[in-house]
Structure 1
């Protein structure tokens, strides 16, 4: 019988083939305004264009 963790790993691998990780992009304007490195997750480049309020 397959362990739960190996089934989760297999599912993650299958999903990753269809939906690759969305890239992070540094935002110069926000980085300068905040004095910190600000990265934006580019959900608009995802095949499903998933947007979440966080």
Structure 2
């Protein structure tokens, strides 16, 4: 896992959790979303060669 972390560290950034007020109000629960759309590659899941 550490090796993989080092390999993608220049591409992937930690993304924040953000409370979604509209969904929280509609559901009556605290709804948080992970802002993967803030990745520089604009992808929810990185894809590509692993070697």
TM-score by length of 2: 0.63
In 1, distance between residues paired with 2:32 and 2:42? 18
Q: Secondary structure in 2 aligned to 1:18?
A: coil
Q: Root-mean-square deviation (CA), in Å?
A: 1.9
Q: Give yes or no for the alignment of 1:49 onto 2:42.
A: yes
Unaligned runs of 5+ in 1: 1-7
Q: Going by fraction, where is helix more abundant, 1 or 2?
A: 1
Structure 1 residue ranges (4+ consecutive) displaced by more than 6 angstroms after TM superposition: none
TM-score by length of 1: 0.61
Aligned residue pairs: how many? 45
In 2, distance between residues paired with 1:38 and 1:21? 19
Unaligned runs of 5+ in 2: 46-51
